[in-house]
Amino acid sequence: MPVIVETLNSPSEQDRGDLAKIYADAPDWLLPPYADAAELVERGLADGLLVAGRFNDRLLGAALVVRSEQHWQLSHLCVRKVTRHRGVGRRLVEEVARLARDAGKPLHLAAPKDHLESQAFAARLHLPLESL
């Protein structure tokens, strides 16, 4: 599945609808500190933090990426439920890691403290995990 990863600077109405569908499938633990999925998407877009994976002109997954002087931090990674387990999330992380390396920065994952699934995901990808 050739997923194109991009930072969403000028999302179309279709993109906004796809983002709503992506985060509608998000587990409750993924949304804080945002009140809900709509706030996560709007704040991510407004702050230029939202990165998404596109296949056949549709967004299938997204995450927030904070670029700091020390490192880049990827959080709030979510893939549409109907598309999970097909490599979309891994592709998003790998491309953001490549972009971070190109910028001379390491990539860290961020997730809620003591979340075992996130710990396992970070270990599989050999990335440091920070608590949100």
**pLDDT tens per residue, range 91-116:** 999 999 999 999 999 999 998 878 88
Residues forming beta bridges with residue 10, ordered by sequence position: none
* pTM: predicted TM-score of the whole model, two decimal places: 0.91
The pLDDT-based confidence of 1 (bands split at 50, 70, 90) is low
**pLDDT tens per residue, range 19-30:** 999 999 899 899
Q: What is the mean pLDDT of residues 59-82?
A: 94
Distance between CA 53 and CA 119 in Å, rounded?
A: 22
**pLDDT tens per residue, range 8-22:** 999 999 999 999 999
Asked whether residue 79 carries a pLDDT value surpassing 90, the answer given is: yes
C-beta of residue 76 within 8 angstroms of C-beta of residue 30: yes
- The pLDDT value given to residue 115: 82
Q: How many residues does the chain have?
A: 132
Which stretch of DSSP H or E encloses residue 119?
A: helix 116-125
Distance between CA 90 and CA 104 in Å, rounded?
A: 21
The pLDDT-based confidence of 132 (bands split at 50, 70, 90) is confident
